[in-house]
Amino acid sequence: MRKILVGIKRVVDYNVRIRVKPDNSGVVLDGVKMSVNPFDEIALEEALRIRERGEAEEIVAVSIGPDDAQQQLRTALAMGADRAILVKHDGMLEPLTVAKTLMAIVSREQPELVILGKQAIDDDNSQATQMLSALWDRPQVTCASKVEIKGNTLSVVREVDAGLETLEVDLPAVISADLRLNEPRYVKLPDIMKAKKKPLDVVEFASLNVATPGQLTATHYEPPKARAKGVMVKDVAELISALKNKGLV
């Protein structure tokens, strides 16, 4: 395999407590720690392991976002990606536009495999993989927990409600990484320094000629309601009575 393309998204760090703006117009981002989407880290780690086994030659990390997303791409380069591409765009993008943008990069780069995180922890859409597969007219496997390359065939174990399912698809293909696929490596300081010298290309979103039909508009944000205080019961009869009072049984 010559090339693997990995999607990288800039998100609020998973350890940060999300706060809604006072006017309910969005989420507070000023001074908030931003990181690589955890599922995208897993996707990149899998690409690195494939290359380390001698089954791929180059790994390209791609992100769509503002200039600040270069920080997350540098993290991807420090992990081991060979080069990075930032499609510069300010503001939110719907999943279909993300897929079309990735398709434009795929057309330029011609990778044999595209690996994305199964979802982003900020919007939880979990749609880009499926849409990119349709646009590219190539097979897809989502929620991968194990990946093996057998010549021009990809064998993927995925998690389903009933257990595990093994699928084989022909390359080129698109897969999405699940939580149990692997554990991303720790980035060391020497690798961070080396990453500064690796190529990072910035592409203007407008230059890709991607249509952006607006279908969704966020009108209001609010935090989840506070969880009600628990009730201690003495026995099963009291539990059933409490559930009846709440209209749950």
What residues form DSSP beta bridges with 140? 174
- Encoded amino acid at 19, one letter: R
For 175, phi then psi, to 5°, come to: -130, 155
d(CA 174, CA 35): 24
Model pLDDT, residue 13: 93
Q: Which of 77, 62, 75 is nearest to 34 (CA)?
A: 75
Record the pTM: 0.87
Mean pLDDT of 101-109: 96
Q: Which of 135, 133, 138, 139 is CA-nearest to residue 156? A: 139
Set out the domains of the chain in order of their start, with CATH numbers. Answer: 3-245 (3.40.50.620)
What integer pLDDT is reported at residue 214 of this predicted model?
72
Element (H, E) at 129: helix 128-136
List pLDDT tens digits, range 9-67.
999 999 999 899 999 988 888 889 999 999 999 999 999 999 999 999 999 999 999 99
Q: Distance between CA 157 and CA 162 in Å, rounded?
A: 13
Residue 228 three-state SS: coil
Tell me which residue of 42, 40, 35 sits closest to 14, measured CA to CA: 35
pLDDT score for 186: 92
Amino acid at 61: A
Separation CA 231–CA 161 (nearest Å):
32
